[in-house]
Structure 1
Amino acid sequence: MDSDKIKGVVVITLPPPDNPSLGKSVTAFTLTDDFPEPPGESVAVDQEVQQPNNDHLTLPPNLPIQAPLSQRSIPLSRELFAGTPRKLVFVLGIALAAVYLYASNFPETIRELRRSERNDDDRPSSFLFPLYFQSELGDSSDFQLKLGRTVRVNKDDLGVRFNDVLGVPKPSKLISASLKSDSSAVFPVRGDIYPDGLYYTYIMVGEPPRPYFLDIDTGSDLTWVQCDAPCSSCGKGRSPLYKPRRENVVSFKDSLCMEVQRNYDGDQCAACQQCNYEVQYADQSSSLGVLVKDEFTLRFSNGSLTKLNAIFGCAYDQQGLLLNTLSKTDGILGLSRAKVSLPSQLASRGIINNVVGHCLTGDPAGGGYLFLGDDFVPQWGMAWVAMLDSPSIDFYQTKVVRIDYGSIPLSLDTWGSSREQVVFDSGSSYTYFTKEAYYQLVANLEEVSAFGLILQDSSDTICWKTEQSIRSVKDVKHFFKPLTLQFGSRFWLVSTKLVILPENYLLINKEGNVCLGILDGSQVHDGSTIILGDNALRGKLVVYDNVNQRIGWTSSDCHNPRKIKHLPLF
């Protein structure tokens, strides 16, 4: 019976009687017991005898219908330009002009894309870190202007010594060491402001790896963790104290020790076998410790883990307001341009390109992400300014030519110069203006009294109250205007601008009043530098490109990092 099975069918369609000249059509089908192929993989045989009649042509199911060759539509491009070469020339002209304008306005982007495509397989990768928000720690005295630097000391003022074992530290005179005039450490920040908090991440340290939560700080050189060496003055911290072993201690002859101690006066102690340091911050807080080397377990942007040795501070003596912020964190993640910073250490070994980026979300719950390396740097849409290069200062700084409140310019003529230095400091909670710019801003803010906001009598901060308690900045932000910092050129159209929205520079204190999150910089340093803290940097991806000596930013919700290598439509 198998031989009697029907193997195929041939369908012959005759022409209509009234028009036999159309000819007949033949369609063949092959029958099989196998399962049918997905659409698009079966084969139908259409044989055309003379001229087939489309109205009677039968095609197999699940196959795309194709019109006969004589009836197929002209492609859209041919239909548009058929008989009208002027249209084709016009469209091609517009396309060439667009490519020329893009290439002329973003030449660096084109070069970077070509370079990234050539080196994509062997270039260093990036590390990605989640960020967390530390809030409700107390009043504004819990938050400081970081800008940490090692202090200058005499050779007799070298901190504690770890001899054969990590024993009890001897008293150190470093705590009271005075700073030279070029240091940023002056007075602590005070005021009655409900805190916005600090942003922190975590790093796995030691073997077995243990998480330590660190405040991210682009204004500090050294990464340090509170440690049990033993600890003479430490904050509560979030993790148990890091406990170093004797083999972890870094020799005073190490090149990074020399970098940390470059501000020390006199010769190094010949009898010392360790590298002592002290970092003193702009609010007079300090951290005293010794350099150690241990394993860091870091996660690449592709999710894989790697272990590598890094040098950091074993901090056993913290003083000042710094202790107040160490309730949810265990130390500082130094991200400056200094050689001892973590990104610089990784870049010097070819692990990453020396690029740091952070994105601090503007959401009330906080958060965001931090990356080391250049995988998450957008190739377009960034506003870039040149980074000032100073051999003695490792801060991320540039120069601003103008600041506007709305459309009203604020004075920058502090020292007879039309430009002021601006430091980007993720370790500072608030933003600091020069004295002249600050008081002009306060004067312009008097206009909000017309909307029912009453100025509070306070010698430290500027706050306003209403008849009812203010729950959110959103309730009052429409009474205020954005601040615009202009960089590069004085001409508005060709300059680079950074906009600080009212919801970023305003905050609500615990009394339910709205307060100004911009303070007078002359109260904490010499007043010649504008410092952009966390509140001014929220809602932006900020990139510190140490390879090309530039600082960039773009607006972002900071929820998910995007790894983009190619331009759209290319």
Structure 2
Amino acid sequence: MGRGARLVLPAAAAPQAQARRRQGGGLDHGRAAGEVRANLPRHYFTSINIGNPARPYFLDIDTGSALTWIQCDAPCTNCTKGPHPLYKPAKENIVPPKDSHCQELQGNQDYCDTCKQCDYEIAYADRSSSAGVLARDNMRLITADGERQNMDFVFGCAHDQQGKLLDSPASTDGILGLSNGAMSLPTQLAKQGIISNVFGHCIATDPSSSGYMFLGDDYVPRWGMTWVPVRNGPEDVYSTVVQKVNYGGQELNVREQAGKLTQVIFDSGSSYTYFPHEIYTSLIASLEAASPGFARDESDQTLPFCMKPNFPVRSVDDVKQLFKPLLLHFSKTWFVIPRTFAIAPENYLIISDKGNVCLGVLDGTEIGHSSTIVIGDVSLRGKLVAYDNDENQIGWAQSGCTRPQKASRVPFFLSRALRSQLL
């Protein structure tokens, strides 16, 4: 299959909020109490087929982590109730310590000559963890014309989850690692020549639909995308820098932040968006000053900041016109063309079960990012976001996310579409 090949996965959303934040092995779960409303961040996952015969597994899509792992009967010490039976590896599927994938995962440390398996453990920011062994098995991909393509895939066979991972929704069997690390699914596919090292996702704003993700570059629009460079760093995350943050026409950067570049991380594994503490408190002050008909309601524990309106509110559509967009301004292209990531009010406001208007942007100090912006699912909705690891850039464009559209260009390589859906 040519390097232009692509896998399209429709997204499904479970009606439960769950935030994951990978921070050098870190993960954080968002808080959501009470009745789930239409615009509450949801839990997005997709289906992959592993094994021979191939069996489906539902995995949380996470651009903030590299290793894909599936709950595994090895046997399992601590596993949650998932939608499918636990993956059971054959002995020949266990990756030995001398394998290059094991050395990559463990930092090229001296491996154990007498050991028969490659152990791993991922620790997350909320003190939860997943431990297991690396396994290698077939992943089955279905092309648009109905053909089947098998690839060798190395992933985590997870048999011991601790902490909040044990509270994960029963809708998933594990996590799909999509970062720019060597162990991620896009990188493994690219190394085997199946796709270019590009992928993307499109999460629908409309709660009645979910969206899709794709692997390869054939669904990246040729025109209309805003691109920013990816910064290289020690963590396998998609990060760039922003020059300033505005609430409408009001700049939120306080004096201590002014003139400094703030790191921005795109993380589909986080339900909510996080701002640095100074920008977060400045945003709250702006919302309180601009909303005289709203009073802060500290009794509402849905999110840290909730306001009670002086009129009944059933959905975010009732109040979005009263608020302004959040604007992340990046450096201009050729010093002329502006590059802005706009977050509409409906993509940062949450309506609680009390009918209050809550802020879906949280303080980054909660996840150890006091000076970093993390853009989560709540703010990625309604945008096609592409991650181009070949060119080290991230791009976005407004989209209804109903179905993927092949780019109107002649591909350099003959390609076929690999299709699936976000569930």
Is the TM-score greater than 0.5? yes
What is the CA-CA distance between 1:429 and the residue it aligns to? 0.2
Tell me whether 460-469 or 516-525 shows the greater mean CA deviation.
Answer: 460-469
Q: Which residue of 1 aligns with 2:239?
A: 397
Question: How far apart are residue 144 of structure 1 and its match?
Answer: 3.0
Among 80, 83, 95, the residue aligned to 1:238: 83
In the TM superposition, residue 363 of structure 1 has moved relative to its aligned partner by 0.8
Q: CA deviation at 1:557?
A: 0.2
**CA 330–412 in structure 1, closer or farther in 2 if over 3 Å, else same:** farther
Once the two structures are overlaid, the 10-residue window that deviates more, 128-137 or 461-470, is 461-470
- Cα deviation digits, residues 278-308 of structure 1 (max 9, x gap): 1122222211110001111112355432112
SS at match of 1:145: coil
Give the direction of change, closer, same or farther, for the CA distance of 1:340–1:485 in structure 2 (3 Å limit).
same
Cα deviation for residue 413 of structure 1 reads 6.0
| 8 A Cα contact 2:333 2:339, kept in partner | no
- Separation in 2, partners of 1:285, 1:417: 36
Letter in 2 for 1:397: S
The question of 1:445 aligning with 2:287 is answered yes
Tell me the residue number matched to 2:4: 124
Aligned residues, how many? 404
Tell me the CA shift for residue 418 of structure 1.
1.4
Q: Point out where structure 1 has 5 or more consecutive residues left out of the alignment.
A: 1-120, 138-142, 151-183
* Counterpart for residue 523 of structure 1: 366
Residue correspondence of structure 1 range 119-268 to structure 2 within 5 A? 123-136=3-16, 143-147=18-22, 149=24, 184=26, 189-190=30-31, 192=33, 194=36, 195-262=40-107, 267-268=110-111
Query: Is the 8 Å Cα contact of residues 3 and 190 (structure 2) preserved in structure 1?
Result: no
Shift of 1:515: 0.6
> 1:313-371 CA distances to partner (integer Å, 9 max, x unpaired)?
10011112222224100000000000111110010111100001000000113410010
1:67-466 correspondence to structure 2 within 5 Å:
123-136=3-16, 143-147=18-22, 149=24, 184=26, 189-190=30-31, 192=33, 194=36, 195-262=40-107, 267-390=110-233, 392-411=234-253, 418-450=260-292, 452-457=293-298, 461-466=304-309
Distance 1:319 1:352 in 2: 35
Query: What secondary structure sits across from 1:489 in the alignment?
Result: strand
Alpha-carbon offset, residue 136 of structure 1: 3.3
The alpha-carbon deviation at position 149 of structure 1 amounts to 4.5
Provide the rounded CA distance (Å) in 2 between the counterparts of 1:381 and 1:145: 30
The corresponding residue for 2:416 is none
CA shift, 1:492, in A, is: 9.2
Report the 3-state secondary structure (helix = DSSP H, G, I; strand = E; otherwise coil) of the residue aligned with 1:403.
Answer: strand
SS in 1 for 2:347: helix
**Structure with more of its chain in strand, by fraction:** 2
Q: Which structure has the larger Rg?
A: 1
Give the match's secondary structure for 2:224.
coil
1:407 & 1:321 partners in 2: Cα distance?
39
Q: Offset at 1:528?
A: 1.5
Q: What is the deviation of 1:225? A: 0.5
Residue by residue over 1:191-220, the C-alpha shift from the partner in whole angstroms, topping out at 9 and shown as x without a partner, is 657552221000011111111000000001
**What is the CA-CA distance between 1:493 and the residue it aligns to?**
5.6
Q: Structure 2 vs 1, CA of residues 221 and 545 (structure 1 numbering), >3 Å: closer, same or farther?
A: same
Inter-CA distance 267–507: structure 2 relative to 1 (3 Å threshold): same
Go from structure 1 to structure 2 and tell me whether the alpha carbon gap of 1:501 and 1:493 turns closer, same or farther (over 3 Å shift). farther
Post-superposition CA distance 1:234-269 (Å, at most 9, x none) = 111111111111111001111111111118xx7433
In the TM superposition, residue 524 of structure 1 has moved relative to its aligned partner by 1.6
1:188–1:403 Cα change, 3 Å: same
For 1:261 and 1:442, the matched residues in 2 are separated by 42
Q: Which moved more, 1:326-335 or 1:405-414?
A: 405-414
CA contact (8 A) 1:285 1:321 kept: yes
Q: Which has the higher contact order (CA 8 A, sep 6+)?
A: 2
Other-structure match for 2:420: none
Q: Flag the structure with higher helix content.
A: 1
- After TM superposition, the structure 1 = structure 2 runs for residues 464-503 of structure 1, keeping only pairs within 5 Å, are 464-467=307-310, 469-489=312-332, 494-503=337-346
- Structure 1 residue 495: Cα displacement: 2.1
Question: Post-superposition shift, 1:453?
Answer: 2.0
- Confirm or deny: 8 A CA contact 2:64 2:179 kept in the other structure: yes
Counterpart-to-counterpart distance in 2, 1:401 and 1:490 = 13
- Normalised by the length of structure 1, the TM-score is 0.67
Rounded Cα–Cα distance in structure 1 between residues aligned with 2:29 and 2:44? 20
Conserved? CA contact 2:71–2:159, under 8 Å:
yes
**Unmatched segments (≥5 aa) in structure 2:** 411-423
SS at match of 1:350: coil
1:495 aligned counterpart, secondary structure: strand
Answer with 212-221 or 296-305: which moved more.
Answer: 296-305
